[in-house]
Structure formats: structure tokens, C-alpha cells
Amino acid sequence: MAISRKSRNVGLTLAIAVTAAVSLNGQEKGPRTPWGDPDLQGIWSIATITPFERPSALADKAQLTEQEAAEAEKTFLKTQNQDRRDGAGTDADVALAYNDFWWDRGTKGVSSRQTSLVVDPPDGRVPALTAEGRARATARAARGYDSWQDRSLWERCITRGLPMIPGPYNNNYQILQTPDNVVILSEMIHDARIVPIDGRPHVGQSIRQWFGDSRGRWEGNTLVVDTTNFTDKVSYRGSTEGLHLIERFTRVDKDTVRYEFTIDDPATFTKKWTAAIPMARTDEQIYEYACHEGNYGMVNLLKGARAQEKAGGEK
């Protein structure tokens, strides 16, 4: 991601062959592929400083005024500045070892000025966990460093998984289209998610995958993607293999695709919930993200834990 921040190449900016916009069923005109589907192609960033859940201070407020939004951006940039150097040698200072060069959290809130990415329920908070969900959350929190299996899929370089959530860096995605497939390419960890849109049924229930099994369809101008068949080895906020993920992609203007996802997993959440994240056009590129190939982090983390145990044992 360091590279992508430094090298902007207009030469490779996606030049999409767009046919004349057609009005479909009286819906809004927008860019179309040569075969008439809405055109979502391009490289998009979901970086945003808007919090995922609504902060308690804004409990009754779904949307910021323009002035409040500007204020919030200013405050964020100040408090999250990783380049500041105060208290050299302290733990707080060491925690800033990754300075702002390494981060790519974005500098702006979402253009809708919503106070959280969670839009449903209306309080902007992820619904309460079920009893079973709470038990799983407790077990998860107790995980340590005994084995790689205690660490996240991200640390293990397996996948960043679904749904697409803004992270501290690598927020870029590329969308490509053919009449039969929509492809969402994620730089991290080089996952090319190929979504068939040709009406075929899901694969059999015995095939469980990290990315589940996705099927897409066009509903007017919106691409709706249904994903099932998750493996129980992957979990989003505690979700189970029964998770039914519904994602919606809508090109709302030249520079924006609205991305919405709904989490439906009654074993984990007491009700369905939905988040909305704008994907903003970027002139950056997707580069190779080799992760597992250089996962010194995992080796050092396990080594460190073993060394610590040994030191503890000798006390």
C-alpha cells in the first residue's frame, strides 16, 4: 500500500468503454456496459473516517451538519495523527512506530454525513448478540498465542474476508464485468472474488468456503449479491457458517458506488442489520499483496510467546 500511495498512474486509469446511457424501465440513466448492464467498473476506495457504529455522544443524531462534519474531520486528523512524537521512548510513542506513511484510513467522512456506517437499525448500532453469540464472543476474546489458530485470518494471511469493511490500510477494490460475472478484486490478500450473474444455482451445501459462494443478479440499477456456504472457520463479528450475506452495489454517480451489506445470522445477532459504505473512485492501482510469503509476523509472535513462557517458567 506504500507503493499505491506514492505511485499514481493516470496512464492506467480505467478507461471504460461505455455505451450511450439507456433508460431502463424509466430508471435513472447511468453508465452502461456495451451489453447494457449498469457499469460498476473501476478502482474504488472504501477508506473513510466515519465510525462503523454511532458514537454514544451522537445517540440521537443520524446525520451531521456540514459544519459538524468538517469539525469531525479536523478532530480526527489531529487525534489520529501517527506522525506526532510525544514522550519519546514511552509505550505510547512506540505504538506510533507505524507512522502515517503506512496508514491509509482516509481523511474524510462519508459524503452522506451519516454518523455511522451502520444504517439499520436506526440507532446506528450493531444489534445485541444472542446468548450463543455472546458465548462465542467470550471464547474468542480468551484466545492467546498458543498457536496460529488463535490468531486472526488477517494475521494468518488467509483472507480479509467478507463483507468489505474499511480498514486502516488497503481499502482499494477493483470491479471488472463481463456478461456472466462481476469480479471484485481486493488488493488484500489478493482475493479475486468472482460472482456469477448468469442465474446458476449455489453450489452444494457440502462445499463451505472462506468467501462462501456468491451469486449476483441485477435489480434495476443495483447489483444484488447473495452469499451463503460460509465455512465455520470464518467469522464476521462472531457470525456462524449459517450467515446469509446480502450485498448491494449501486452506481450513484460518476465517482461513487454505494455499497450496502445486510447481515442475516439469527444464531449470532438478535436481528438483521445493514451498513452502507460509499466506494469512491480512486486513481490509484491494485498491486500484488504477498502476505503469507513473508509472514515473519506469525513466526515472531509465536516465538515471542514461547520465549515469554520460558522466562515465566524460570521465575
Partner 1 sequence: MRHWMIGLALVASCILPVAGQTPSTYKAPRSPHKDGKPDLNGIWQANNTANWNIQGQAARQGPILELGAAFSIPAGLGVVEGDEIPYQPWAAAKKKENAAKWLELDPEVKCYMPGVPRANYMPYPFQIVQTPTHILVAYEFASASRTIYMNSKEESPADTWMGWSRGRWEGDTLVVDVNSFNDQTWFDRAGNFHSEALHVVERYTPVSRDVLQYDVTIEDPKVFTRPWKMSMPLYRRAEKNAQLLEYKCVEFVEELMYGNLKKKP
From candidates 17, 131, 141, 311, binder to partner 1 by CB under 8 A: 17
* Contact set for partner 1, span 203-222 (CB under 8 A): 203, 207, 209-211
- Pairwise CA distance, residues 64 & 70, whole Å: 9
Backbone phi, psi, residue 206, to 5°: -75, -15
The string over 264-291, giving b where at least 16 C-beta atoms fall within 10 Å of a residue's C-beta and e elsewhere, is bbeebbeeebbbbbbbbebebbbeebeb
Tell me how far, at minimum, the Cβ of 99 lies from partner 1, in Å. Answer: 20
Cis check: omega of the bond before 184, within 30 degrees of 0: no
Tell me how far, at minimum, the Cβ of 131 lies from partner 1, in Å. Answer: 30
* Contact set for partner 1, span 233-252 (CB under 8 A): 233
Does 197 bind partner 1 (CB under 8 A)? Our answer is no
Contact 22, 149 (CB under 8 A): no
Backbone phi, psi, residue 78, to 5°: -75, -50
Does 21 bind partner 1 (CB under 8 A)? Our answer is no
Which residues on neighbouring strands pair with residue 261, listed in sequence order? 247, 275
Does 196 bind partner 1 (CB under 8 A)? Our answer is yes
Does 15 bind partner 1 (CB under 8 A)? Our answer is yes
Does 104 bind partner 1 (CB under 8 A)? Our answer is no
- Pairwise CA distance, residues 272 & 275, whole Å: 11
Closest of 106, 127, 108 to residue 53, by C-alpha: 127
From candidates 132, 146, 232, 283, binder to partner 1 by CB under 8 A: 146
Site size toward partner 1 (CB under 8 A) is 58
Does 274 bind partner 1 (CB under 8 A)? Our answer is no
User: Contact residues for partner 1 (CB under 8 A)?
Assistant: 3, 6-7, 9, 11-12, 14-17, 33-35, 41, 145-149, 156-159, 174, 176-181, 183, 185, 189-192, 194, 196, 200, 203, 207, 209-211, 233, 286-288, 290, 292-293, 298-299, 302-303, 305-306, 309
